[in-house]
Amino acid sequence: MSPPSTGRNPDRRTSRSGRWIDDWHPEDPVFWKETGRRIARRNLVLSVIAEHFGFSVWVMWSILVVKMGANADGGPGPAGFALTIDQQLWLVAVPSGVGAFLRLPYTFAVPVFGGRNWTVFSALLLVVPCALMMWAVRHPELSFGTLLMIAGVAGVGGGNFASSMTNISFFYPEKEKGWALGLNAAGGNLGVAVIQKVGALVIAGGTGTALAQIGLIYIPLAIVAAVGALLFMDNLSEAKADFGSTASAARRGQTWIMSFLYIGTFGSFIGYSSAFPALLKNPALFNRPDVALSYGFLGALVGSVARPLGGKLGDRIGGAKVTVAAFAVMTLGGLGAVASIGRRGGILDKPSFGLFFASFMLLFLASGIGNGSTYRMIPAIFAARGARNGGTAEAMLRARREAAGAIGICSAVGAFGGFLVPIIYAESNKAYGTIAPALWVYVGLFVVMAAVTWLCYLRRGDISAQPSPAATPSQVLAASTR
């Protein structure tokens, strides 16, 4: 490859093993046009592919459990398992919790090991949960504790989002990072919908052998993603870990307020996505396994597609305003879901499956929009802090770096909602024989979160209403490179 006219050579490698680029200057228009854009686009495509498969593996148990439940008499179903609804919900919750825990270390893995190297490793790591799953679904005699541990290994796929977003943020100039990171995030989130649709077609037979076929699909795909990263992705030498800024962000109250709000948006999205097929199949509700397999993926699809819209609306009218509106709509969706249950919900006398399904689609839509708007709020909050501290170049740089750390923390904490949502459903179903109490809890939380957003960010003016040139989400994600 010939060097660009700027005299910089993006292909100059260090003595380290692997494809390392030492000179990377995406803000240089000539460099970007002649060399940088092509390299960045190649890395983006392969990163999206690996992250997409990671999300699919992360939530694969959400579709497997639909066929692992007990039959109408409480005995083993076609796959040989006799799991209760509570056990099924625990099996989808544990991978979410593990994935949330892994997000923070995955964020720092890219600067430490290199984006290309870590993508190869994390893609190959997806083979492990797939192989364990293939073995487990053929052995219905396994204890529930063993199944939980095996399902938990799928959580490694949840960490891929953090490392993928961090890696791509290093490649693009500020003016194009929003588009690149949005595409990267959407491609990953769509993995949830794809596994729930493709998996439903694969496991239609219901036997352990049919369930294991999901692994036969995703093991080769994970290997293909790893090989593609090995051959065509690059490491950037300028990527540097910034542990100090993350520690500093952890001391800011705003970081934990936004983490709480992100539990309500992304946590709801991933939690509802994981639990929705099991809820559709729940005999205590509507007992519609046919809908769970055929249309259970729609919620994740709606939420994934809506995420970029939330970010765009946040840019236009203010992230806090959009977030409050998202929680308001989620409250309405939660009330609709409660009403749809009938007498056990305490609103309507008769259950309505149509209202139940529509209410959850509204929840998915609003949570997806909220994902984008809350993610957009974080850098604006820290930019405002930098401006209050004098607005100097040093103060704004410190604010951007703290915002980068805050995004990593919020991403990890928010993902724990994917663990909490199914668990609350399971405990509600176990204690009361209905999920109505769980839905009332969610409605109450959405009201509280809307109030917190208004009190902290709208009462005295929306601090995210006027985006700062130095405070876009893409910039703060790149702050650790400076």
Q: What is the pLDDT of residues 222-257, one digit of tens each?
A: 999 999 999 999 998 877 766 777 788 888 888 899
Q: Average model confidence (pLDDT) for the chain?
A: 84
CA distance 421 to 234: 38
Domains by residue range for the chain, with CATH = 23-239 (1.20.1250.20), 242-482 (1.20.1250.20)
- 388 Cβ neighbours under 8 A, 6+ residues apart: none
Q: What pTM does this model have?
A: 0.80
pLDDT at res. 478: 45
- 181 Cβ neighbours under 8 A, 6+ residues apart: 165, 168, 169, 172, 473, 474, 477
Residue 9 has pLDDT above 80, yes or no: no
Give the model confidence (pLDDT) of 165-204 as tens digits: 878 877 888 677 667 777 787 888 889 889 988 888 888 7
Residue at token pair 């130095």: 470
pLDDT at res. 178: 61
Number of residues assigned to the chain:
482
* 294-320 average pLDDT score: 84
Residue at token pair 């870990």: 241
Give the model confidence (pLDDT) of 110-158 as tens digits: 888 888 999 999 999 999 999 999 999 999 999 999 999 999 999 999 9
CA distance 88 to 154: 15
Residue 206 CA neighbour count, 13 Å, CB half: 12
**Nearest C-alpha neighbor of 55 from the set 167, 198, 174:** 198
Answer yes or no: are the C-beta atoms of 40 and 171 closer than 8 Å.
yes
Answer yes or no: are the C-beta atoms of 364 and 309 closer than 8 Å.
no
Q: What is the dihedral of CA 368, 358, 300, 306, to 10 degrees?
A: -30
Give the model confidence (pLDDT) of 360-374 as tens digits: 999 999 999 998 888
Q: H-type helices in 137-284, by residue range?
A: 144-153, 160-171, 174-202, 208-232, 243-250, 253-262, 268-281
Beta bridge partners of 236: 21
CA distance 95 to 97: 5
CB-based burial, 197-229: b 16+ in 10 Å, e otherwise: bbbbebbeebbbebbbbbbebbbebbeebbebb
- 38 Cβ neighbours under 8 A, 6+ residues apart: none
